[in-house]
């Protein structure tokens, strides 16, 4: 990815820094939903956006209304014998969607009819904004429903992401631009991928310190997004390059997007939300060919949809990931009941949605649209389901969201639809009822793959923290271990750190201890609970060698101060002219004296090194007139009474030197009339003076 491409992709994300009241979010994620980590395999949601407004009546055709459809849609209606009979609800599919019929027969496709919203807007941009933001028709939002959902689960994003629990992006959009769907109120939690093979470090990794100012906060945010993009780009590239599809995909934009998504999933990327799009559905004219209504623009794009989705699902089947992927289509609106004279249709209201997956209820939701025998140009289909009912159902049944999370994403509650089956998970433990051997586990219980409760502890029960790094060969590192005692006082925790030691955390040691005398290296520390044989939680932590002491010293002669910038330690020992100072600051301004100054900086760890320097600050000296015919006046600042003066040629030879006595008025004079014409260097030195001046002798 070129740097300009990166800046384009994150430009609006960086701008979001203006929305951030502070930059100190804590790392906190929900343990309830499918977004409880991106370190392990989990459920995935794939959204396919159909841009332009899909003609639902020519996509899912109500055969019981076919006679009236012939009357009101004479320019676009297809022959009944060319349609693909769905075998459900007296419905048929467009001829280009033959493979969708196969998925329906396999109970892996669901049709939801008549989806829309109250008082539909017929503007592409406004209607798509409503669908993506999940707003009311008269409500204008600058964030998307999935963006708010992710933010609710990750209120600390983007600070401290990625991390061990969330090493992969929370959401990925395939293409060149972002959508409102995944835009949060305070952040942009989606990563844009346009070429995973060219993902390289878009900017050198850096870690600048910025001031706590308005501009400093924004620069910190941009730096964070750049570093995060480097890290996410690397894991995406690795996942993509570690996999290859056995299934061929169409050579179309949607085909590329879904092929890329399947390779990332197969390659081990544990991102939970993917977003792709297919354009071309704004079929005002040439929706069908005049001579053959089964051909035309609508046929072409539906064929692309059919072939791309089919390849995607087959690829998931081949990699064994089908059970954990749910795919959904949506469009900003449907088309009119009437066709127009240009062999197309105009902006309408309700339209069907497709949902694909191995764990869905495959029945058709909604009644067949009723088509009047005579329809006017502005007549439209009635909306049976608010599109947010679909979103709410997926949040609840697939993504594991509770009511409060649903409200955070959709701003209010909506009646649910049976998307993944009315009894998929009655006890809410994440295990389908058909696989659940313990279908009455209490809310919030951790269960095994059979749905039976297992002993566990809160994720933050244990704290493992390096408290001291170690110099090579000195074994002076340390690791602090602790356990929360407030809720677990009945437990005794055993720890095993290998060669670093074993022991117990209990009330006797206030549930804390320290491992001392550690050499640099990695340590694996495992905790068990007495009386719970199946429980173990392990942590891997490294005791590093300390970074070398970094000191940058800048002298300001105008103010006679020394600016120190320090890095490498939490505490520094500074000695200036014999006076010691202990500080935790990384930026210091220290006063200098006239004459020789000595500065030394060290830390508590000798192996980090020592900084030492001598700095001479001279009193002011003025020499005039210049040029001179011989007499030379001098003003010498400070208090020194005797100053050594030398005159040297430009070749470096000394042509004159003397000891100059400075009077109380700080003036002195010498006569250089005996020197030949030319350029000379006049140097003055004393305890507080060390200056040189170039003069011209006439």
Tokens 């020592």 belong to 610
As a whole number of angstroms, the distance between CA 109 and CA 173 comes to 23
pLDDT at 236 over 70: yes
pLDDT at 588 over 80: yes
Q: What is the DSSP letter of 428?
A: -
Least confident of 25-39, 40-54, 286-300, 475-489: 25-39
Q: Outline where 252-386 has alpha helix (H).
A: 253-266, 297-319
As a whole number of angstroms, the distance between CA 430 and CA 233 comes to 31
- Predicted confidence at residue 424, as pLDDT, reads 55
For the residues 327-342, what does the mean pLDDT come to?
94
The model's confidence at residue 192, banded by pLDDT at 50, 70 and 90, is confident
CATH number given to 462-543: 2.60.40.10
- Predicted confidence at residue 139, as pLDDT, reads 95
As a whole number of angstroms, the distance between CA 17 and CA 14 comes to 6
Burial class (CB in 10 A: 0-12, 13-18, 19+), 357: buried
CATH 2.60.40 fits 550-617, yes or no: yes
Least confident of 1-5, 351-355, 384-388: 1-5
Q: Where are the beta strands (DSSP E) in 396-469?
A: 462-468
Least confident of 17-26, 69-78, 425-434, 600-609: 17-26
As a whole number of angstroms, the distance between CA 170 and CA 110 comes to 26
Task: For residue 682, give the 3-state DSSP assignment.
Answer: strand
Mean pLDDT score of the chain: 86
- Predicted confidence at residue 422, as pLDDT, reads 43
Token pair recorded at residue 340? 């127009």
Token pair recorded at residue 40? 């392990």
- Predicted confidence at residue 11, as pLDDT, reads 34
As a whole number of angstroms, the distance between CA 27 and CA 22 comes to 14
Fold of 621-697: Immunoglobulin-like (2.60.40)
- Predicted confidence at residue 4, as pLDDT, reads 36
pLDDT at 423 over 50: no
Instruction: Please indicate whether residue 33 or residue 444 has the higher confidence score (pLDDT).
Output: 444
pLDDT at 642 over 70: yes
Burial class (CB in 10 A: 0-12, 13-18, 19+), 271: buried
Q: Mention the CATH class of domain 3-410.
A: alpha beta
Residues in the chain: 698
Instruction: Please indicate whether residue 282 or residue 438 has the higher confidence score (pLDDT).
Output: 282
Instruction: Please indicate whether residue 290 or residue 375 has the higher confidence score (pLDDT).
Output: 290
Token pair recorded at residue 331? 């469009």
Name 70's Cβ contacts closer than 8 Å, sequence gap at least 6: 77
* Beta-bridge mates of residue 685: 644, 690
The model's confidence at residue 52, banded by pLDDT at 50, 70 and 90, is very high
Residue 424 main-chain phi, psi, to 5 deg: -65, -35
pLDDT at 32 over 60: no
Contact 277, 192 (CB under 8 A): no
60 alpha carbon, distance to own chain's centre: 38
- Predicted confidence at residue 165, as pLDDT, reads 84
Contact 505, 481 (CB under 8 A): yes
Domain ranges of the chain: 3-410, 424-454, 462-543, 550-617, 621-697
Helix (H) or strand (E) holding 169: none
Contact 430, 450 (CB under 8 A): no
* Beta-bridge mates of residue 616: 596
Q: What is the DSSP letter of 546?
A: P
Report the percent of the chain where pLDDT is more than 90.
Answer: 64
pLDDT tens for residues 557-586?
899 999 999 999 989 999 999 999 999 999
HEC-encoded secondary structure of 192-233: EECCHHHCCCCCCCCCCCCCCCHHHHHHHHHHHHHHHHHHHH
Burial class (CB in 10 A: 0-12, 13-18, 19+), 650: exposed
As a whole number of angstroms, the distance between CA 92 and CA 645 comes to 106
The answer to whether domain 3-410 and domain 621-697 are alike in fold is no
pLDDT at 643 over 60: yes
């Amino acid at each position: 990815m070129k740097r300009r491409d990166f800046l384009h992709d994150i430009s609006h994300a960086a701008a979001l820094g203006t929305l951030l009241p502070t930059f100190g979010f804590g790392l906190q994620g929900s343990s309830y939903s499918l977004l409880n980590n991106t370190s392990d395999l989990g459920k995935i949601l794939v959204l396919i956006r159909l841009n332009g407004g899909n003609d639902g009546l020519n996509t899912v055709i109500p055969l019981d209304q076919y006679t009236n459809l012939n009357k009101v849609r004479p320019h676009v209606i297809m022959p009944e014998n060319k349609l693909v009979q769905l075998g459900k609800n007296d419905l048929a599919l467009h001829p280009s969607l033959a493979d969708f019929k196969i998925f329906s027969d396999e109970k892996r496709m669901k049709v939801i009819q008549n989806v829309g919203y109250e008082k539909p807007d017929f503007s592409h941009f406004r209607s798509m904004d409503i669908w993506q933001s999940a707003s009311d028709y008269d409500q204008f939002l600058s964030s998307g429903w999935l963006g708010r959902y992710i933010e609710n689960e990750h209120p600390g994003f983007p600070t401290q992401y990625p991390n061990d629990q969330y090493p992969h992006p929370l959401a990925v959009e395939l293409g060149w631009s972002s959508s409102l769907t995944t835009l949060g109120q305070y952040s942009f939690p989606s990563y844009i991928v346009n070429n995973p093979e060219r993902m390289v470090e878009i900017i050198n990794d850096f870690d600048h310190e910025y001031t706590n100012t308005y501009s400093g906060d924004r620069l910190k945010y941009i730096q964070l997004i750049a570093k995060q993009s480097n890290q996410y780009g690397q894991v995406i590239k690795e996942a993509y390059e570690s996999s290859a599809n056995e299934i061929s995909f169409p050579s179309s934009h949607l085909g590329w997007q879904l092929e890329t998504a399947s390779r990332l999933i197969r390659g081990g990327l544990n991102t939970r939300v993917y977003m792709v799009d297919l354009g071309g559905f704004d079929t005002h004219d040439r929706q069908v060919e005049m001579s053959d209504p089964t051909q035309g623009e609508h046929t072409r794009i539906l064929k692309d949809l059919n072939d791309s989705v089919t390849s995607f699902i087959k690829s998931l089947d081949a990699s064994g990931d089908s059970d954990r992927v749910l795919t959904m289509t949506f469009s900003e609106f449907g088309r009119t009941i009437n066709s127009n004279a240009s062999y197309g249709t105009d902006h309408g209201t309700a339209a069907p949605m497709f949902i694909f997956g191995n764990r869905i209820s495959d029945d058709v939701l909604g009644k067949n649209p009723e088509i009047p025998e005579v329809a006017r140009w502005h007549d439209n289909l009635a909306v049976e389901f608010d599109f947010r009912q679909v979103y709410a159902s997926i949040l609840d049944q697939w993504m594991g969201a509770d009511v409060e999370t649903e409200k955070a994403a959709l701003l209010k509650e909506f009646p649910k639809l049976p998307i993944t089956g009315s009894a998929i998970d009655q006890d809410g433990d994440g295990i389908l009822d058909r696989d659940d051997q313990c279908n009455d586990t209490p809310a919030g219980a951790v269960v095994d793959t059979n749905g039976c409760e297992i002993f566990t502890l809160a994720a933050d029960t244990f704290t493992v923290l390096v408290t001291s790094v170690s110099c090579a060969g000195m074994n002076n590192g340390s690791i602090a271990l602790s356990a929360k005692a407030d809720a677990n006082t009945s437990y005794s925790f055993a720890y095993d750190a290998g060669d670093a030691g074993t022991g117990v955390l209990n009330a006797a040691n206030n549930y804390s201890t320290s491992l001392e005398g550690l050499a640099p290296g990695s340590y694996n520390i495992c905790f068990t609970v007495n009386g719970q044989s199946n429980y173990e939680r392990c942590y891997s932590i490294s005791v590093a060698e300390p970074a070398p002491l970094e000191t940058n010293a800048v002298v300001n002669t105008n103010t006679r101060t020394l600016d120190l910038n320090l890095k490498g330690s939490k505490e520094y020992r500074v000695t200036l002219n014999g006076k010691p100072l202990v500080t935790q600051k990384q930026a210091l301004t220290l006063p200098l004296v006239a004459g020789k100054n000595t500065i030394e900086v060290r830390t508590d760890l000798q192996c980090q090194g020592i900084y030492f320097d001598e700095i001479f600050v001279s009193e002011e000296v003025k020499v005039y007139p210049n040029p001179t015919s011989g007499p030379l006046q001098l003003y010498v600042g400070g208090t020194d009474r005797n100053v050594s003066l030398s005159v040297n040629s430009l070749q470096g030879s000394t042509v004159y030197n003397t000891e100059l006595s400075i009077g109380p008025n700080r003036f002195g004079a010498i006569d250089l009339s005996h020197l030949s014409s030319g350029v000379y260097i006049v140097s003055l030195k004393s305890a507080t003076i060390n200056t040189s001046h170039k003069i011209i002798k006439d």
